[in-house]
């Protein structure tokens, strides 16, 4: 961190300010130029808030040189993280990219993982039908919402515990590991059979929830908030990792902008940026990012070409009568076609689908 | 709700679709023009999702005519809601604008309420000093954070329970009712002495939290999410109100846009828009909206002139050494000066400060 | 400008880089700390592009300390600029805030100037009727569009030269100085009788147009682009001023954000920010900023309370049948009522309406 | 266009309003439901402004069913437009996707066209060196700026006419057709040897310029404004096409959002959306969209995978000393590597690079 001192500040005041900073645990280099005095902070500045420092009356500008995230930072962990989920739900582990993996579904480290399923679990018939379809098409994970965040209190809120049980049946039927969204920490005990806990975009900065998940052993699929920067996404991952859970999967799902032809704006360049900055796997959700089924395949292929480690896609056996998100759900046929085309794109990026 | 049917759809298909809609509890008027068939849905359409309907293959466009919020809607509750907090913490109530209120601090219905205090409680000396200053300057409520949502897990997270206790002491000392932010529902029991529960911008769509607060008897100060529309803000209020708690105070605190000179962009026109659409009180937070102390007074006066029912302002006795948000906190002197000038603006809007 | 050099760069490479910078006309202070080498550039860095410098392989970060605008900068011109327009169109001048002004309409320097009129000139009856109404209500200038920028080539494009002539008649009739939008530089000769040239939001970065206006002697009302930062607005003003025309009036008219209840988002905090950074007058256009007539009065009062030097407001004698922008135009009655209320707000800010 | 009439409006008033609409050249179907009266406008509604209609006191809501663009609309021109530029600058034409094309460089209709070159022409050596490099790597067009739109009047503004002449030399040397940005209509005569006229993002709604280009016979590369919707982009194309010039190439180049890790946010989903709505070719500019050279290759591949008809990419032989945009320019080596990888992506999308 570099702090430019205002012009006209005396050497004594500067020394006094530097000493105060050193008491907070960093070493301070003072560089006095003819026209500008600059402080260089050496050491761990992750607890220093640049905006707070900028409030000080001696300070002209503050510049972070070091990134504020540590555990998620590729600088300190150059190798890609791969997260393995044993089919059947047995032992799991984080491994380097070349680790052996038995009969596991993996995310990251050379795999291109597709998570697919309906927005919400609606009935035994629906979830099992969709599970079979997405498995046959090559998906490695089944998604389905049991607890649904809905803008209106009068909209369908999900099937709750019953929905979780139906997911477990679909897993038994197909062997596909499960991904489902947790809306509050109490629900964690119900999620014993769920393989990956999803944190939705609206909860990306629910810091208490993130801290609790840091104490969990479950992998976490962390969706980017719709007005969150990629740095804030990494800081949210850092909350989970700081608690001891390093199995975090990031997910770009579109951000909110002035443009309204699509539900959100898919920030495709976030994918290569994240891949440079972090070792964590990066997925893309083309369904929420676009909100329009006919745009999903192109967005999915773009994600693969941009270097994503996989996708999370909404598929419904009867989109027109879906209880939520029907307009963005692929039909089984459209999903099967997409999967067939994706394989070649993943291979061009050196990944296995 | 109006549904335009695609061209070329047969009368029979349209009738079939209309019958399906009627089974979901509305009456459907079918208007067949020479070139366009249009369905008018009559009755309570609040559980109909326009985007889901738009996914149906017969549908060209869907238009909501009715607002999706009911309890928050001024149409069904024309009179301003006023929320009274008895100083000393006794009986409380929602009243019409002219209700008598004893020695109460009130928000809405002709009052211009100023809530002031530090971003976070830091020490007994700090909170009591600030409480005295803001009371002397005319603030009606004391704010202070005990549990702080911070972007980084390595930043100061607030004093927790001890912070709550210090707030209670400041209340005992000054008589000012308290406003503090709740980050998860478990903390509610700790908030017994807090008069108004604040829901932060990041939790505006934490629907489980909103539902729990719907069961509480405490007034709720609901801050707009930084990428939330004003309609979504009203729907979040609706979650609380649908649970039986109608004492909701809305707060505009700036939205996230491309412009970065200020921390956020204060959406000042949201104030008159909200005042037209809802009977709930509308406050403005000029501190978070701008993030720069020197812009706070102008933003505060603009809020008063735009018709806000009050403000929530950060004040710190030593902004340069504040543990958070120092750059946007007013000094006691600046706050006192602001309050002196605000009175005239509030009066021009027909409100008492 | 401060340049942080990457770690591991040799002293020799740094010296070489510094020498290259000095050849471009600045003095470079090199501060070598134990962990960080920092260059301080002294002199006029306005032609240095921070992003271009950041591309250099030795550079870690670049920070502008000095603002990139000079002529518009309050630092070098502390006193407010006031622009006087003689009624009748005679001699004009830029003066300090206390300069005498005869029978002039003024903008800036203690005046609160209201420019009002229809979106576009439609007929002699319309423009003269509106001119009389706005004059009677206290407006100091008449606005009206002759050349209209319209999103669709199939929409009404303005009356062109005939519209300009009708504006001149309205000026003769009422004595009100005129403000009208120029869409390309050729039109300048037609604008001889127009007192203030308006540059629309879409042309804010039409740099060739700005350069030509820099050679003109007409005051320029420069509207902020709908995705332009306030710094870019000042740089656009700088283009005009660099050409020798210092009579520039800035206008905040709303920016484009995700929020769609209003046509744009009025960035009210830009007003006090601009007033701090520049000596130029700052107006607000509440009509385009909100796009909804019922929100205009509150937005206008907020602008006055935020410290604006005036307003530009759309008024139409028959908004329902206006050829453009009817939904945001005030009726004569609503405008008259607004003007009556504005006087008190302007006075509170120490300005004369 | 569908107009929902407010409740409580009499049949007579509605008839009167419908008659007024019919006088403006459409047929109006009136559908009177039990609770809602709806007007359906039949015919060409492209000159009707939905916002203006919404201002009428009888109107509850207005919904466009028909798109506001006609000539650019794929509905009326289902086949892809291909634009052929004869190498050597001879006869040119718009053809259907299967038209023969001699020794032409083509954009659209099954070709994947890459336009590459420096941000600005700086010297004979620079432009010829870059032209050779990009040709060798497979680019079909050379780009280079002679007139540069720069935020600051103090930045390098381009070489002007001399820059144009250097481009012509590079064309003679390599045979590559030229793409260069026109900043105002006067410059058109200087652009005789330029094969495709680029309209920059800041000029996308410079309607007078668009109208003039509508009278030109040159193909136009129209870049999306940084706060323009895709519908506005199509309306800008419509301005050019309405004047008789149907050779318009659209270019997505990133939009301005709250996210700042990249210079802009590449709106990748705009590509498939535009391909559905229009027959015009759609390019992507990954250089301006990201602003960071290391993100350009992933963004370029994503564009190909999303179905773009080509790219416009900045390449510089010495990015560190480029006079503009160095931080986003690819080196010759990086560009050559990108081109090698792109071929496979284009083929997967059924296009020839």
What pLDDT digit, counting tens, does each position of A312-335 carry? 999 999 888 887 777 899 999 999
pLDDT reading at A92 higher than 80: no
Partner B contacted by C276 (CB < 8 A): yes
- Interface contact B49-A239, CB threshold 8 A: no
Give B88's pLDDT tier (boundaries 50, 70, 90): low
CA dist D322 → C64, D135, D159, D172, D292 (Å): 20, 20, 13, 24, 14
pLDDT of residue B98: 39
Q: Are A39 and A2 in contact (CB under 8 A)?
A: yes
Nearest CA in chain D to B7: D65
The nearest CA of chain A is from the CA of B232 a distance in Å of 7
Looking at every residue in chain D, the average pLDDT score rounds to 90
Which of A265, A303, A306 is opposite residue D265, by nearest beta carbon?
Answer: A265
SS3 B329: coil
Chain C residues with CB under 8 Å of D293 CB are: 55
Q: For residues D275 and D300, is the Cβ–Cβ distance under 8 A?
A: no
ipTM attached to this prediction: 0.91
Closest CA to A177 of A193, A164, A190: A193
For an interface test with C, give the residue of A11, A60, A64, A258 to mutate (most C CBs within 10 A): A258
Summarised one tens digit per residue, pLDDT across range A132-160 is 999 999 999 999 999 998 888 988 889 99
- Interchain pair D52, C207: CB under 8 A: no
How many residues are present in chain D?
A: 353
Cβ–Cβ < 8 Å for A177, A196 = yes
Chain D residues near residue B264 by CB distance under 8 angstroms: none
DSSP state for residue C84 in the 8-state scheme: E
Structure tokens, B335: 């706050």
Cα Dmax for chain A: 76
Residue A227: pLDDT over 80: yes
Q: What confidence category does residue A280 fall into, taking pLDDT thresholds of 50, 70 and 90?
A: very high
pLDDT surpasses 70 at B287 = yes
CB contact under 8 A, C55 and D153: no
Closest partner residue to A261 (CB to CB) among D273, D297, D299 is D273
Interfacial C residues in 308-327 facing D (CB < 8 Å): 319-320, 322-327
Predicted pLDDT at A31: 79
Residue C229 CA neighbour count, 13 Å, CB half: 14
- Say if CB C328 and CB C287 are below 8 A apart: yes
Instruction: With CB atoms and an 8 Å threshold, state whether C33 touches A35.
Output: no
Q: How far apart are CA C304 and CA B302, in angstroms?
A: 8
C113-117 and C104-107 strand pairing: unpaired
- CA gap B118, B330 in Å, rounded: 9
Reported as a pLDDT band with limits 50, 70 and 90, residue A283 is very high
Check pLDDT > 50 for residue B89. no
If you search the block for the tokens 């830091």, which residue do you land on? B122
Residue C36 to residue A40, Cβ atoms within 8 A: yes
CA distances from C204 to A190, C118, C200, C278, C284 (A): 57, 21, 6, 17, 15
Q: Does B43 touch chain D (CB under 8 A)?
A: no
The residue of C3, C11, C31 whose CB has the most chain A CBs within 10 angstroms, and thus the best one to mutate to test that interface, is: C31
D288 touches chain A (CB under 8 A): no
The pLDDT score that the predictor gives to residue C313 is: 98
Kindly determine whether residue D32 and residue B32, on different chains, have CB atoms separated by under 8 Å. no
| pLDDT category of residue C324 using cuts at 50, 70 and 90 | confident
Query: How confident is the model at residue B155, as a pLDDT?
Result: 85
Burial of D100 (C-beta count, 10 Å sphere; 0-12/13-18/19+) = exposed
Q: How far is CA B15 from CA B5, B29, B177, in A?
A: 11, 10, 59
CATH of domain A2-63: 3.30.70.1140
Percent above pLDDT 70 for chain B: 95
Distance from CA of D107 to the nearest CA of A (A): 20
pLDDT tens for residues C6-65? 888 999 999 999 998 898 888 888 878 777 788 888 888 877 888 778 878 888 888 887
Look up residue B351 and give its two tokens.
């409100």
Q: Which letter does DSSP use for residue D243 in this model? A: T
Of the pLDDT bands very low, low, confident and very high (cuts 50, 70, 90), residue B82 is: very high
CA distance D252 to D254: 6
Check whether D246 has a pLDDT greater than 70. Answer: yes
Using CA atoms of A243, A246, A250, A255 in order, give the dihedral in degrees to the nearest 10: 20
For residue A344, give the chain D residue with the closest CA: D348
Distance linking the first and last C-alpha atoms of chain B: 42
What does the pLDDT average to over A191-208?
96
**% pLDDT > 70, chain C:** 95
Q: Is B40 in contact with D40 (Cβ distance < 8 A)? A: no
Residues C113, C300 contacting (CB under 8 angstroms): no
Q: Where would I find the H helices in chain A? A: 11-23, 50-54, 124-137, 161-174, 207-214, 230-242, 270-277, 286-290, 296-305, 332-348
Average pLDDT, chain A: 90
pLDDT at D98 > cutoff 50: no
pLDDT at D350: 94
Q: Residue A52 above 80 pLDDT? A: no
Q: For residue range B228-262, list pLDDT tens digits in order.
A: 999 999 999 999 999 999 999 999 999 999 999 99
Q: What is the mean pLDDT of residues C191-210?
A: 96
Out of B227, B267, B297, name the one closest to residue C265 (CB). B267
Q: How far is A257 from chain C (nearest CA, A)?
A: 5
What's the half-sphere exposure (Cβ side, CA atoms, 13 Å) at D66? 20
Q: Do the Cβ atoms of B269 and C265 come within 8 Å?
A: yes
Task: List chain A residues with CB under 8 Å of D261.
Answer: 229-231, 270, 273
Chain A hits for C256, CB-CB cut-off 8 Å, are 258
Per-residue pLDDT at B36 exceeds 90: no
Predicted pLDDT at B163: 96
- C-beta atoms of B305 and C304 within 8 A: yes
Checking if the pLDDT of D284 tops 90, the result is: yes
User: Does the CB of C55 have a partner CB in chain D at under 8 Å?
Assistant: yes
Nearest to A300 by CA among A118, A149, A116, A157: A116
Please tell me the pTM assigned to this model: 0.92
Question: With bands split at pLDDT 50, 70 and 90, how would you rate the model's confidence at D86?
Answer: confident
Helices (H), chain D: 11-23, 50-54, 124-137, 161-174, 207-214, 230-242, 270-277, 286-290, 296-305, 332-348
pLDDT for A26? 86
Is it the case that residue D99 has pLDDT exceeding 70?
Answer: no
Contact D266 A261 (CB under 8 A): no
| CB atoms closer than 10 angstroms to residue B292 | 21
Q: Where does residue D252 fall: left (phi above 0), alpha (psi -120 to 50 degrees), or beta otherwise?
A: beta
Q: What angle do CA D305, D311, D313 make, to 5 degrees?
A: 125
pLDDT number for residue D101 = 39
Q: How many CB pairs under 8 A join B and C?
A: 123
pLDDT confidence of residue A88: 54
pLDDT reading at C101 higher than 60 = no
Q: What is the CATH topology of the domain spanning D74-348?
A: TIM Barrel (3.20.20)
- Identify the band that residue D46 occupies on the pLDDT scale cut at 50, 70 and 90: confident
What separation in angstroms does the CA of A124 have from each of A165, A169, C160?
9, 8, 67
Residues in D closer than 8 angstroms to B36, CB to CB, are: 2, 29, 31, 40, 42, 65
- Please name the residue of chain C whose CA is at the shortest distance from the CA of residue B307: C298
Q: Alpha-carbon Rg of chain B, whole angstroms? A: 23
pLDDT for res C235: 96
Average pLDDT over residues C212-223: 96
Strand ranges (DSSP E) for chain C? 2-5, 27-32, 37-42, 59-63, 82-86, 93-95, 104-107, 113-117, 141-143, 178-181, 196-199, 220-223, 248-252, 282-284, 310-314
- The whole-angstrom separation of Cα A79 and Cα B132 is 55
The answer to whether the Cβ–Cβ distance between B36 and D65 falls below 8 Å is yes
Chain C within 8 Å of D149 (Cβ-Cβ)?
Answer: yes
Confirm or reject contact between C303 and chain B (CB < 8 A).
yes
Average pLDDT over residues A255-260: 96
Preferred mutation among D54, D149, D154 to probe C, highest tally of C CBs within 10 A: D154
- Asked if residue B269 has pLDDT above 50, the reply is yes
Could you identify the residue written with the tokens 């009712």?
B177
- Compute the average pLDDT of residues A265-290: 98
Chain D contact for A307, CB < 8 A? yes
Burial tier of B102 (Cβ tally within 10 Å: 0-12, 13-18, 19+): exposed
Tell me what pLDDT residue A218 has: 95
Q: CB distance D265–A260 less than 8 Å?
A: no
Which pLDDT does position B29 carry in this prediction?
84
Q: C: neighbours with 3+ CB pairs under 8 Å?
A: A, B, D
Out of A47, A51, A327, the one facing B154 most closely (by C-beta) is A47
* Count of CB pairs separated by less than 8 Å, C with D: 124
A232/B326 Cβ within 8 A:
no
Angle between helices D332-348 and D124-137 (to 10 degrees): 30
Q: What is the mean predicted confidence (pLDDT) over C192-196?
A: 96
Helices in chain B by DSSP H: which ranges?
Answer: 11-23, 50-54, 124-137, 161-174, 207-214, 230-242, 270-277, 286-290, 296-305, 332-348
Q: Taking CB atoms and an 8 Å limit, are C36 and A2 in contact across chains?
A: yes
CA-based nearest distance D195→chain C, Å: 23
Question: Is pLDDT of D94 > 60?
Answer: no
Question: pLDDT digit string (tens) for B136-162?
Answer: 999 999 999 999 988 888 888 899 999
Q: Summarize the confidence of residues B19-44 as an average pLDDT.
A: 83
| Mean pLDDT to the nearest integer, B99-120 | 83
Count of C-beta atoms within a 10 Å radius of residue C90: 10
Measured CA to CA, the distance from residue B217 to residue B93 in angstroms comes to 10
Classified as helix, coil or strand, C17 is: helix
Reported as a pLDDT band with limits 50, 70 and 90, residue A103 is low
Whether B177 shows a pLDDT value over 90: the answer reads: yes
- Calculate mean pLDDT across residues A30-35: 76
Give counts: helices (H), strands (E), chain B. 10, 15
pLDDT, residue D88, reads: 55
- Nearest to B38, CA basis, from B1, B2, B66: B2
The tens digit of pLDDT for each residue in D9-41 reads 999 999 999 998 898 888 888 878 777 788 888
Report the alpha-carbon distance of residue C177 to residue C105 in Å, rounded: 8
Residue D248: per-residue pLDDT: 98
Nearest Cα to Cα of residue D119 among D100, D144, D102: D144
Neighbour tally for C103: CB within 10 Å:
10
CA distance C290 to chain B (A): 7
pLDDT at D276 exceeding the cut of 50: yes
Name residues whose C-beta falls within 8 Å of residue C277's C-beta, 6 or more positions apart in sequence.
C67, C72, C73, C74, C230, C234
CB D343 within 8 A of CB D301: no
Number of H helices, E strands in chain C: 10, 15
Q: What is the mean pLDDT of residues B325-336?
A: 92
For chain B, what are the domain ranges? 2-63, 74-348
As a residue count, chain C comes to 353
Residue B329 CA to its chain's centroid (Å): 21
Name, in order, each residue with C-beta under 8 angstroms of D2's C-beta and a sequence gap of 6 or more. B2, B4, B36, B38, B61, B63, D38, D39, D40, D41, D62, D63, D65
Which chain A residues touch D270 with a CB distance below 8 Å? 259, 261
Q: Angle C332-348/C124-137 helices, nearest 10 degrees? A: 30
Provide mean pLDDT across the span A164-177: 97
Residue B328 scores a pLDDT above 50? yes
Q: How many contacts does B have with D, using Cβ atoms within 8 A?
A: 74
Residue B345 three-state SS: helix
* Closest by CA position to A192, among listed A211, A178, A176, A173: A178
Mean pLDDT of A38-45: 82
The residue of chain D nearest to residue A277, with distances taken between CA atoms, is: D261
Q: Residue A100: pLDDT band by 50, 70, 90 thresholds? A: very low
Contact (CB, 8 A) for B268 and B239: no
CB contacts under 8 A, B 218-247 vs D, are: 227
Coil vs helix vs strand at C326? helix
pLDDT at D82 over 70: yes
Q: What is the pLDDT of residues D208-233, one digit of tens each?
A: 999 999 999 999 999 999 999 999 99
The answer to whether C248 and C210 have CB atoms below 8 angstroms apart is: no
Three-state DSSP state, B299:
helix
Q: Does B56 touch chain A (CB under 8 A)?
A: yes
Confidence class of residue A41 from pLDDT cuts 50, 70 and 90?
A: confident
Is A207–B183 a contact, with Cβ atoms under 8 angstroms apart? yes
């Amino acid at each position: 961190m570099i702090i430019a001192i205002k012009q006209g500040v005396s050497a004594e005041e500067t020394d006094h300010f530097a000493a105060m900073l050193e008491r907070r645990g960093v070493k301070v280099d003072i560089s006095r130029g003819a026209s500008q005095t600059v402080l260089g902070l050496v050491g761990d500045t992750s607890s220093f808030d640049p905006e707070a420092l900028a409030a000080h009356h001696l300070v002209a500008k503050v510049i972070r040189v070091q990134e504020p995230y540590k555990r998620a930072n590729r600088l300190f962990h150059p190798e890609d993280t791969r997260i393995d989920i044993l089919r059947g739900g047995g032992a799991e582990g984080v491994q380097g990219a070349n680790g052996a993996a038995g009969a596991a579904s993996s995310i990251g480290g050379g795999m291109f993982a597709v998570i697919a399923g309906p927005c919400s679990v609606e009935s035994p018939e629906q979830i099992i039908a969709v599970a079979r379809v997405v498995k046959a098409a090559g998906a490695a994970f089944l998604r389905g919402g049991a607890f649904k965040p809905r803008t209106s209190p009068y909209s369908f809120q999900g099937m709750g515990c019953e929905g979780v049980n139906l997911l477990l049946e679909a897993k038994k039927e197909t062997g596909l590991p499960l991904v489902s969204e947790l809306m509050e920490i109490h629900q964690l005990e119900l999620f014993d059979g769920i393989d990956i806990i999803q944190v939705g975009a609206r909860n990306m900065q629910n810091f208490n929830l993130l801290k609790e998940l840091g104490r969990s052993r479950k992998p976490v699929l962390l969706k980017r908030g719709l007005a969150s920067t990629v740095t804030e996404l990494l800081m949210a991952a850092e909350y989970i990792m700081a608690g001891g859970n390093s199995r975090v999967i990031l997910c770009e799902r579109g951000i909110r902008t002035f443009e309204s032809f699509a539900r959100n704006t898919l920030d495709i360049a976030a994918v290569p940026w994240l891949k440079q900055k972090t070792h964590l796997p990066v997925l893309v959700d083309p369904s929420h990012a676009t909100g329009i089924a006919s745009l999903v395949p192109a967005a999915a292929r773009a994600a693969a070409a941009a270097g994503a480690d996989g996708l999370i896609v909404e598929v419904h056996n009867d989109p027109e009568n879906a209880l939520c998100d029907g307009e963005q759900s692929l039909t089984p046929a459209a999903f099967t076609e997409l999967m067939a085309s994706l394989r070649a794109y993943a291979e061009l990026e050196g990944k296995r689908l």
